[in-house]
């Protein structure tokens, strides 16, 4: 690990603190689902430590509570979590092409919606250690929140649980607002995404699709259109990389 890697690891951990706090709150609500599925606090916490995916965990715990088969659970998790394939593919284009396979595999383990957001927002090339740092500080918050939610979920009032779940939306806003303020193109694309998501929700046909599948379709269409209309040249990316390295030193 180089000195620059250490700096990026620390910076990622620092930027991951708000995510960890939000994950703790959201993890608490996931713990309720784990408790309803008959899991112990240790089992609920372990599930979150190995699988940081809120929608996937909610669906998984719900299916466990319904005594679903392993095959049905397996297929459901693939469908719901398939969006992470797109995120990983996107990050693979942002890291140095000489990055080794082990670092790439570790990077894929760290992919969540929010960590992907702050990683893809990095100027220039992404140092995987930045993402590692964000993951290392975020994962304990997610795990501890789920553990305590499974342990204490039946005690807290419903209003308190509903308030905790709002933290997830706050995290998403924290991810998208800064880049939108810097780049008008990003701002327009975010607004188009909101409008497209709302429009799809009004069409009866899309009600038949799982939410994860709909997210993937919208991502492919909108991201593909943005790539065609607003391509980022290699020269621009290299300039951003140089500027980012200077700013972080």
> Going along 50-207, which residue ranges are E strands?
none
Is residue 164 a contact partner of residue 46, using CB atoms and an 8 Å limit? no
* Bridge partner residues of 95 (DSSP): 126
Q: Considering Cα of 208, then 210, then 213, then 217, what sign does the dihedral take?
A: positive
pLDDT at 68: 79
* Alpha carbons 173 and 189: distance in angstroms, whole number: 14
Per-residue pLDDT tens, the chain, 249 aa: give them. Answer: 788 999 999 999 999 998 898 888 888 888 888 888 889 999 999 999 988 887 788 878 888 888 878 887 888 788 778 788 888 888 988 998 888 999 999 999 899 888 998 898 888 889 999 999 999 999 999 999 999 988 886 676 666 666 665 665 666 676 677 777 877 887 888 888 888 888 887 877 777 776 656 766 777 788 778 778 877 665 555 555 444 444 455
pLDDT at 246: 44
DSSP assignment letter at 95: B
* Alpha carbons 186 and 27: distance in angstroms, whole number: 30
Binning the chain into helix, strand and coil, the percentages to the nearest 5 are 80, 0, 20
pLDDT at 232: 64
pLDDT at 11: 94
Number of other residues whose CB lies within 10 A of the CB of residue 92: 14
CA distances from 155 to 58, 69, 81, 131, 152 (A): 20, 31, 31, 35, 6
Q: Tokens 């951990």 map to which residue?
A: 13
pLDDT at 168: 57
Domain count, the chain: 1
Half-sphere exposure of 236 (CA within 13 A, CB side): 4
Please give the distance of CA 6 from its chain centroid, rounded to a whole number.
23
Domain boundaries, position 25: 3-248
pLDDT at 158: 64
Residue of 120, 115, 121 lying closest to 139 (CA atoms): 115
pLDDT at 6: 92
pLDDT at 165: 59
């Amino acid at each position: 690990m180089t000195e620059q890697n250490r700096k990026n690891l620390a910076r990622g951990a620092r930027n991951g603190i708000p995510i960890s706090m939000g994950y703790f709150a959201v993890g608490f609500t996931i713990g309720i689902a784990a408790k309803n599925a008959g899991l112990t606090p240790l089992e609920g916490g372990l599930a979150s430590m190995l699988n940081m995916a809120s929608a996937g965990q909610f669906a998984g715990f719900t299916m466990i509570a319904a005594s679903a088969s392993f095959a049905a659970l397996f297929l459901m998790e693939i469908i719901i979590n398939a969006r992470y394939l797109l995120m990983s593919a996107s990050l693979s284009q942002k890291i140095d092409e000489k990055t080794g396979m082990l670092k790439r595999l570790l990077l894929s383990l760290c992919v969540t919606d929010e960590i992907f957001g702050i990683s893809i927002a990095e100027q220039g090339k992404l140092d995987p250690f930045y993402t590692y740092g964000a993951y290392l500080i975020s994962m304990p918050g997610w795990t501890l929140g789920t553990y305590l939610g499974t342990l204490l979920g039946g005690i807290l009032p419903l209003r308190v649980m509903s308030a905790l779940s709002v933290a997830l939306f706050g995290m998403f806003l924290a991810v998208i607002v800064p880049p939108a303020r810097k780049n008008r193109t990003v701002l327009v694309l975010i607004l188009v995404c909101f409008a497209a998501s709302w429009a799809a929700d009004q069409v009866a046909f899309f009600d038949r699709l799982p939410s994860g599948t709909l997210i993937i379709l919208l991502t492919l269409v909108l991201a593909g259109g943005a790539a065609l209309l607003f391509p980022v040249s290699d020269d621009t990316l290299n300039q951003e990389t140089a500027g980012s390295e200077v700013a972080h030193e």
